[in-house]
Structure 1
Amino acid sequence: MPRAKLLHGSPDEIEAAYYDALSRADLEALMALWADDEEIVCIHPGAARLVGHVAIRNSWEEILARGGLHIQPRQLHAAHTITTAVHNVIEDIHHPDNSQPDVHVIATNVYMKTTQGWRIVTHHASVAPGPAPSEPIAETMLH
């Protein structure tokens, strides 16, 4: 998705572009989705909290050096205000040679409306215990 279109995109479009950039191992596209604020935060499963562009970029560069991540987000639970959106999803992580998800992760993505449009300010993911839940959860939007 062209960056110009994302300038006025919705949190849902930014989230779709995020998972698309991960699947393509496109570090530049991924980092363009983050807010310019140095207080941005990223927590990978089982890892320490990363704050700021340099730390977050370095971590994604290391992760994506092994290739794209094939993540299917599902069971979105969303809370939106005029300037903030919080999305909680279950991420099914697939390896290309396996049709079943290898692991599922619970992730929270926080977006803020900035002068550049909607941007990621927090990504927090953790490995979920037990089997992935299969029951559908209705999408909920709080205003």
Structure 2
Amino acid sequence: MPPTGDAMVKTQALSSQAPETETAEGDTHQHEHGDTDVQDVLAANRRFYQAFADRDVAGMEALWAQDRDVRCVHPGWPVLSGREPVMRSWRELLGNPRSPGVRHQSEQATVCGDVGWVVCEEFVANTALVVTNLFARSGGGWQMIHHQATPISSIAAFEDASGYEDLNGRPPTLH
């Protein structure tokens, strides 16, 4: 949804560069690195990955919105709609001792009004994924309303398709 009126879009990748803000008219402006909304969305994203890595069901449930429609698309799964099916999936995944560990990198956060999203790379076992995590501002801070993880078919395919640069002007790479 494009910004309207005075809505501002704030984007920041984790880097030493200041984040850019794009106005509704398409003008881009630099803002200080510590933009509060973007930093808060990045912090919520890190809480998600910490709960995921720690298998912290209570932490995961606290992060997901309770008063909004939520959705989740785990790799290879159909879309889960509604809080109960989404939370049930996380309870099953986090409670399974055979579930592999997870790590993430290359977070890029964007905020538009009361909605923020993070696109990053996620690694589960030997699988690389591209992830979008969507957050909505509520009285209790930023709450997750959508998670979607999509496998990257192969590093070679990823590199072939990535003749594009990231926000820092670097070609995307997997380590």
Distance 1:12 1:90 in 2: 14
One-letter amino acid matched to 1:118: W
One-letter amino acid matched to 2:166: I
Structure 2 residues without counterparts, runs of 5 or longer = 1-38, 170-175
* 1:74 equivalent in alignment to 2:105: yes
Instruction: Determine the structure 2 residue equivalent to 1:35.
Output: 65
One-letter amino acid matched to 1:24: D
Secondary structure at the residue paired with 1:75?
strand
Question: Where does 1:107-118 land on structure 2 (aligned, <5 Å)?
Answer: 107-118=131-142
- Over residues 89-111 of structure 1, what are the superposed CA-to-partner deviations in whole Å (9 max), with x where a residue is unaligned? 110224xxxxxxx0111110001
Q: CA deviation at 1:137?
A: 3.1
**Bigger relative contact order, structure 1 or 2 (CA pairs below 8 A, ≥6 apart):** 1
Instruction: Kindly tell me the number of residue pairs found equivalent between the two proteins.
Output: 125
Secondary structure at the residue paired with 2:42?
helix
**Farther off after superposition, 127-136 or 76-85:** 127-136
Secondary structure at the residue paired with 2:155?
coil
* Consecutive aligned runs of 4 or more in structure 1 exceeding 6 Å deviation: none
Report the aligned-residue RMSD.
2.4
- Normalised to the residue count of structure 2, the TM-score between the two structures is 0.64
Q: CA deviation at 1:35?
A: 1.0
- Normalised to the residue count of structure 1, the TM-score between the two structures is 0.77
Structure 1 residues without counterparts, runs of 5 or longer = 1-8, 95-101
Identity %, equivalent residues: 22
One-letter amino acid matched to 1:62: E
**Farther off after superposition, 59-68 or 105-114:** 59-68
Distance 1:139 1:78 in 2: 13
* 1:131 equivalent in alignment to 2:149: no
**Farther off after superposition, 117-126 or 128-137:** 128-137
The answer (yes or no) to whether the contact 1:112–1:121 under 8 Å persists in 2 is yes
Instruction: Determine the structure 1 residue equivalent to 2:51.
Output: 21
Distance 2:50 2:81 in 1: 23
Q: CA deviation at 1:38?
A: 4.5
Question: Computing the radius of gyration over CA atoms, which structure comes out larger, 1 or 2?
Answer: 2
Question: Where does 1:81-96 land on structure 2 (aligned, <5 Å)?
Answer: 81-94=112-125
Secondary structure at the residue paired with 1:10?
helix
* 1:106 equivalent in alignment to 2:130: yes
